[in-house]
Structure 1
Amino acid sequence: MTVLTVAEHRGGRLREVSRAAQTAGLELAEATDDPVHTAAVGGDAERFAEQLARDGVDVVHTVAEGEAFTHDIATRALTQLVGALDARVVLAPNSATGLAYAPALAARLDWPIVTDAVELDAADGLTVAREGDGTVTRFAVDSGRAVVTLRPGEWRPAEATGDAEIRSFAADIDDGAVRSRVTGSETLGDRDLTEADVVVAVGRGIGAEANLDVVFDLAEAIDATVAAASPPVKLGWLPAERQVGQSGVTVAPDVYLAIGISGATQHLAGMRESDTTVAINSDPTAPIFDVADYGIVADFADVVPALVAAFDS
């Protein structure tokens, strides 16, 4: 049987989470000596196949090439590829894209799904671990078959040492069964949190939606992506796709700057893997300081504009 990883590409660029998924697949297959295949779905998939082929997997498949990527097309194409390969595990990034098709793929295959995995083990059957609230929960998959989405930052891309075979997989996509299609695209800015090297995240402590202006000024000055804890999203200040935490996305940037964030457990679960955390909060007892590498106890309005001015100069 086969371990299948799914690559993501966007805007003409292969996402690093794709190569990290290959690393996870290779680690999982070590215990079972299964082959590892990677699927690049839709768009200009062939363009990225050679890069994916260098990361140690056995075969790279270009799937539904030329089709604009939608969850409908990905689900149908991957279902067919899984059947053709007799794959036992599908590994996808725990990203907005991955979470758009992975549940539907699991339903079509009648397999269980485990999201936001931090550890995989196949030494004695398939076991998948998730982490949250300071605990690690391990799930034993009795059937040995599952769709698993992988938390960003838990696996790193492998060294480019391989030379995998590249194959084109001709998926049978019925136009009548596709319910959504891409009719155009528009650049919306810096919303790709899982790929960001620097994240500036805000909480209720910034006081008002109008204060986001200076936060975006800071993000622009340091080439960062803006994110949020749960309260600003619930208040409608920022869209849900910017939320970090158990009910949002998990990030692992080089630098995570938390502004006005108290540090609720569900938020910390989404950013603990950050290399360096800097916290700005007026409350010296805020839990965010327990995980911060650097802390500034001050009102954000006294600090952030000064940072913007310093970086601009």
Structure 2
Amino acid sequence: MSDVLAVAEHRRGDLRDVSFELVTAGRELADGLGGDLHVAVISGDVDGFAEMLRLDGVDTVHTVAEGEEFNHDVYAQVVEALHEELDPAALLLPNSVNGLDYAPAVANALDLPLVTDAVDLAYGDRLEATREMYGSKVETTVEVDADQFAVTVRGGEWGAAETAADVDVEPFDVAVDDDAVRTTVTGFEEVGAGDVDIADAEFLVSIGRGIEEEENLDLIRELVDVTGATLSSSRPIVDNGWLPKNRQVGQSGKQVTPDVYLAIGISGAVQHVAGMKGADTIIAINTDPNAPIFDIADYGVVGDLFDVVPALIEQFE
């Protein structure tokens, strides 16, 4: 009872980034426990997903061909059956809409303590899970005094596993009780859907209050065009109606992990930082040298964006 079972997540035919982050988090935890990492993928193109999950650090991938999309009743039954079969110490699930849908039900059925929205995990004599509270202003450490436990992991906090490896793939047969499946998926509608998904962008140019007026968006869009970036923003820009909700980065928007995040006129409030601190390279432009965004930026420019941005456009052109 020292293994880790992580459950991958997919949507509309694609594995979500959190699936690969779960591999990283799961491997770290399995090393602390001294056990193996098992990854399960349920429903959809399980064979195709399994190939993508054959990654360094994974010991076994388990496939369960039940349905096409997420279904609470199916996932709850399958995860419970997998847990009873593998008897792991840790059950890792994504802290997503789907993960939070079935995690409490599974934890209750298996009588497991459940820690949600973990941003860091460590294991010595017991599990220590780090969580953020009060709008990410405070970090707390939760100690779990139990041999077995369940944890939902926040996306964007661990790097995505990438290195392919020779990993066993094992189909798992479970007798799903069809009478207990009381819901069906009738369709899918992306809330706040728009022309792009900023979570998939490799280069984001993000704007905040510092642009002052809506008409100044034209200058930023010019920079976006010449750099081939994607435009995003902090919450005040969306609240003002200058950009749609699907462009918002932050705790109440989307979590993003681009290669480059250029923050223009963004102070760096904790709610915004929570959504973008996983970017590989963070560049900040702000007139205030004490702006919190500079605390996490890899590169910072203290200056007026209306001077800096035109100079950048000229360089890229």
Q: TM-score if structure 2 supplies the norm length?
A: 0.77
Deviation at 1:238, TM superposition (A): 4.4
Equivalent residue for 1:197, pick from 195, 199, 202: 202
Shift in alpha-carbon separation, 1:268–1:31, aligned structure 2, 3 A: closer
Deviations 1:76-98 (A, max 9, x none): 5434433443344332344xxx3
Moved more, 69-78 or 264-273: 69-78
Shift in alpha-carbon separation, 1:151–1:76, aligned structure 2, 3 A: same
| Contact 1:103 1:113 (8 Å CA) reproduced | no
- Give the aligned partner of residue 244 of structure 1: 249
| Contact 1:42 1:68 (8 Å CA) reproduced | yes
Deviation at 1:196, TM superposition (A): 3.5
One-letter identity of the residue aligned with 1:138: T
Output the CA distance in 2 between the equivalents of 1:35 and 1:27: 10
Output the CA distance in 2 between the equivalents of 1:238 and 1:76: 41
| Contact 2:50 2:169 (8 Å CA) reproduced | no
Query: How many aligned residue pairs are there?
Result: 307
Equivalent residue for 1:159, pick from 139, 144, 163: 163
Shift in alpha-carbon separation, 1:61–1:264, aligned structure 2, 3 A: same
Shift in alpha-carbon separation, 1:56–1:290, aligned structure 2, 3 A: closer
1:177 aligns to what SS in structure 2?
coil
Matched, 1:268 2:266: no
RMSD over aligned Cα atoms: 3.6
Deviation at 1:125, TM superposition (A): 1.6
- Give the aligned partner of residue 122 of structure 2: 121
One-letter identity of the residue aligned with 1:157: A
One-letter identity of the residue aligned with 1:49: A
| Contact 1:75 1:102 (8 Å CA) reproduced | no
1:48 aligns to what SS in structure 2?
helix
Q: Which residues in structure 2 correspond to 1:72-91 (within 5 Å)? A: 73-91=74-92
Equivalent residue for 1:138, pick from 136, 141, 153: 141
| Contact 1:68 1:181 (8 Å CA) reproduced | no
| Contact 2:33 2:123 (8 Å CA) reproduced | yes
Deviation at 1:306, TM superposition (A): 6.3
Deviation at 1:258, TM superposition (A): 0.9
Deviation at 1:134, TM superposition (A): 6.7
Q: Which residues in structure 2 correspond to 1:285-296 (within 5 Å)? A: 285-292=290-297, 293-296=299-302
Matched, 1:7 2:8: yes
One-letter identity of the residue aligned with 1:276: T
Shift in alpha-carbon separation, 1:200–1:65, aligned structure 2, 3 A: farther
Deviation at 1:214, TM superposition (A): 5.5
- Give the aligned partner of residue 259 of structure 1: 264
Matched, 1:234 2:235: no
Deviation at 1:201, TM superposition (A): 1.9
- Give the aligned partner of residue 53 of structure 1: 54
| Contact 1:3 1:89 (8 Å CA) reproduced | yes
Q: Which residues in structure 2 correspond to 1:11-50 (within 5 Å)? A: 12-50=13-51
Shift in alpha-carbon separation, 1:241–1:101, aligned structure 2, 3 A: farther
Gaps of 5+ in 2: none
| Contact 1:42 1:67 (8 Å CA) reproduced | yes
Matched, 1:106 2:111: no
| Contact 2:118 2:151 (8 Å CA) reproduced | no
Deviations 1:21-74 (A, max 9, x none): 112212212233333211123221211212313433232122345513356654
Output the CA distance in 1 between the equivalents of 2:92 and 2:243: 30
Shift in alpha-carbon separation, 1:168–1:309, aligned structure 2, 3 A: farther
Deviations 1:162-187 (A, max 9, x none): 32232144462648511543358898
Moved more, 172-181 or 34-43: 172-181
